[in-house]
Amino acid sequence: MLDKYLDINPEVAEAIKNKKAVVALESTIISHGMPYPQNVETARKVEEIVRSRGAIPATIAILNGKLKVGLTDEELEFLGNAKNVAKVSRRDIPFIVGKGLNGATTVASTMIIAEMAGIKVFVTGGIGGVHRNAQQTFDISADLTELAQTNVAVICAGAKSILDLGLTLEYLETHGVPVVGYGTDELPAFYTRQSGFKLVHRSDNANELAKIIKSKWDLNLQGGVVIANPIPEEYAMDFDYINDAIETALKEAKLRGVSGKETTPFLLAYIKRITHGKSLDANIQLVYNNAKVGAELAVELSRL
């Protein structure tokens, strides 16, 4: 049945069949997360980093209604330039597929399609989470509910610092999602290495991390794992500086009535403007760093 909807790149399909290391990559960062041409350049560089560490990259998107696992260079270029590419989470998948449209996958939808294809490791920038003032708005990212039910390990630089990080950790704990600090005892906050929130679990190498993740799924403990990998020190932004920029962006979003799935792209773009592009530079570097760790983890998992 899935063959009707799922189109796996031959190189990726061969790697999955032979239990080689494969790393899933999202496409929202291409279509909605960065301006052209940096979006396409970053996507290509991330794939290159994954290959250099011994794994096969599989960028995921929906093109003409097909769930694509592993994009060609031409398809990456198309996503970077195309208009009317939908931002697709779990709820949107049947509509984009059924109507034969184009969609860029978020963390949640990338996890879903990766699991369909048999890919266990996924690299992104930062996960979504509980938005600030969620007590009134109930604005909670579908990424969190997906992490509670889909067996994919997600390497990220923590949750985006535009969110309520404390409530995000509480939500993940309630739903039994492990959050593992990779070489850190503190939740990284996307642009910065610190957030003020301590983590319960830590791992310092990919081999140990692979064993932890495999044991979770061997024990039939359903759901994903968050591997919180801090942005490298040399690219991290000043904690107070970026938080001031975020507060300014949040006030502007409220004034303009921005809500729902438009909130994160608006805030990231506004923060980029306030910081004169420094936040975008940090975003790119943290994704590169996550790609290195994700590839190393995929290689170790493939050996177990």
Residues assigned a catalytic role: 26, 160
Q: How far apart are CA 104 and CA 111, in angstroms?
A: 13
Which ranges of 67-205 would DSSP assign to H, the alpha helix? 73-81, 93-98, 107-117, 134-137, 142-147, 165-174
Angle between helices 278-303 and 263-274 (to 10 degrees): 120
Picking from 131, 213, 205, the residue whose alpha carbon sits closest to that of residue 179 is 213
Q: How far apart are CA 157 and CA 72, in angstroms?
A: 26
Q: How far apart are CA 183 and CA 104, in angstroms?
A: 31
